[in-house]
Structure formats: C-alpha cells, structure tokens
Amino acid sequence: MTGLTLVAGAGGFIGGQLTRDLVEDGVAVRAVDCKPLDRWFFRSDGSQNLSLDLREIGACREATKGVEQVYNLAADMGGMGFIEYNKAVCMLSVLINTHLLIASRDNGVSRFFFASSACVYPDYLQRDADIPGLKESDTYPAMPEDGYGWEKLFSERMCRHFREDFGIATRIGRYHNVYGPFGTWDGGREKAPAAISRKVAMAVITGRHDIEIWGDGEQTRSFMFIDDCLKGTKLLMASDFVDPLNIGSDEMVSINQLVDIVEGIAQIKLKRTYKLDAPKGVRGRNSDNTLIRKVFDWAPSISLKAGMEKTYRWIYDQVKARAEGRSYVAAYD
C-alpha cells in the first residue's frame, strides 16, 4: 500500500480510468485536471478531485503536497488533426511536466510516471505502411513528430535527468494509440478508432451509408485498448525498470482494415470516400514489444476486434443519445 498518489490529467480519458482503477485497488488518490469538475470524462467519488492548471508552478506545488507518487498524464493533445494544426499548443505541455517535476522534487515525491508517446519515434523510420515494430532504441538520431513529439521527447529527457540528479524514481511509458469507451469521440481531438466509430454510428442512425476516410486508408497503425494501457502503466510504475518502454499493441492494421472491423461490428457496408489532403501523420507505425515481454513477461494482448466492439457500442450510444436530444457524455478533451 502506497501513500497519497497524484493522477495529473484525471479529467481526461486515460487519467480518469486510471484513477478509477487505483481507487478500486485501495490507493488514496488526488485527482487533478484543469477542466471544471463537471467537464471531466470520468470522475471517481473515492478520490480527492481538484481543478488546477498544472501549467502553473503554484498549482503543481499544491497538487504534489503530501504526495508519494505521481502519474503525469496531463497534456493538451488530441488526434492527428489536432496535433498537426496545434504544434505550439502541444509543446506548451512541457510546462506541466517541468513544473510537476520541480514540485515533486521540492515536496519529496519518491516516484513519478510520465506518459510519453510513440510520436517520439523518428519520421524517417515511418515512411512505409509495412513497417517493422518500433523499438525503444530507435529513438535516436531524433526526428519526432513536430510539436507534440518533440515535447514528449524533451520531457522524457527531463525525467531522466531528475532521476539522475535528484533521485526521483521516474518511469516513462511510450503509449501507442490508446482507445476505448469514455474517450473523446467528436470535436476535433478524437483519434481514429473513435472517429471511425462515430462516423459508422452516424451512418447507421441516419441511413446515409457513406464514410469519409482521411488519406488513402492504407496508412498503418497499432491501437491499444484502455485496459491493456492501464495494466502496463501500473506494472511499469511499480517496477525497477528505468528506461522508456513501449506500452502498445503490436497488432498492426491499415485504416481501411480498421473501418472493415467497425463495419462488421455494426453489420453495415459503407461507400468510402478518401480525403487525400487531410492530416494523416506518418505512413506506418507499430510497437515492437520485445522489451516489455522481457521485462514483465507480458504485453498488451486485447485484440482490436474485441476492444472495438466495446468502443463502438459506447460511442453508438452517445451518438444516438445526442441525435435524440438525450443526455450523453460530452465530446471535449
């Protein structure tokens, strides 16, 4: 049993469900997000819930007071469309991690988890759709995703040096495309699994059997279901492993194949049109899970079909409720 644990970014998709899991595990949690409490995606009654802007050093000092360990999942981010058009905004998240590390050092925090991203990997390794998995050692020479990826890579280095210089046990998980229920599904910040689920749900509800796909649909990705993300995060936080570690599925699919899966769940076939000038990111991206298997004898394993079944059903319910003027989970970051 640990002492008080801070979850930063607890009003968001991953942070909200991590808070829920930790509370269920019997952990005392202080949950913090910059959004007002009534706009959190998922709020746990068993946690201490605070609305604080962690870009400010004073807020970070308040948030980390009396805390033993920190999970930093707070960032201003979204899907590829948001990342492509908001590079400076994404980079400003460096204030959150920097100020949280300073406050953690000053307030005696012993352990600190940073949620990094596969966007730290070099662009020059991701120009083909049929890409081998990205290994942790592939990071340098550096050429990460512009804006968001550079912020994540810089913050990884900051965590490393706070471990080396100040003795905070920092842990770094590189997330690969986390998806699932209780996440952003509309409004511009949603990622591909949620966006496609929303589009298919709207086609079912409206009877207009067509779908727009960004790019040619042949770009590839791997997608990790939220439950695998939470398990990998907690395993890494509790471990002695100090280097950045992939936390992602290695089940790579094209966007067209992802649409196939959701169409199969919804039992519908849609006419596809392709928006070739839309933001589409790198051509191919997948996780190499050799190292995480070696460290934990475990890797994310929930199949995309099983995870998308749950995700689509939840998003369909939200889309239908909105169309009928009923209460639904708001689609904000």
Task: Return d(Cα 72, Cα 100) in angstroms, integer.
Answer: 8
**Close Cβ partners of 142 (under 8 Å, ≥ 6 residues apart):** 120, 122, 153
Whether the Cβ atoms of residue 76 and residue 89 lie closer than 8 Å to each other: yes
Q: Which of 121, 148, 179, 316 is catalytic?
A: 148
Strands (E), the chain: 5-8, 29-33, 48-51, 69-72, 111-117, 169-175, 178-179, 210-214, 220-222, 224-225, 245-247, 252-254, 271-275
Q: How far apart are the first and last CA of the chain?
A: 32
Tell me the CA distances in angstroms from 285 to 37, 249, 255, one per residue in order: 35, 11, 12
Omega of the bond leading into 141 within 30 degrees of 0 (cis): yes
Q: Are strands 48-51 and 210-214 parallel, antiparallel or unpaired?
A: unpaired
- With vertex at residue 247, the alpha carbon angle to CA 192 and CA 196, rounded to the nearest 5 degrees, is 10
CA-wise closest residue to 265 among 311, 205, 212, 329: 311
| 148: annotated active-site residue | yes
- With vertex at residue 174, the alpha carbon angle to CA 36 and CA 214, rounded to the nearest 5 degrees, is 75
Could you give the residue numbers annotated as active site? 148
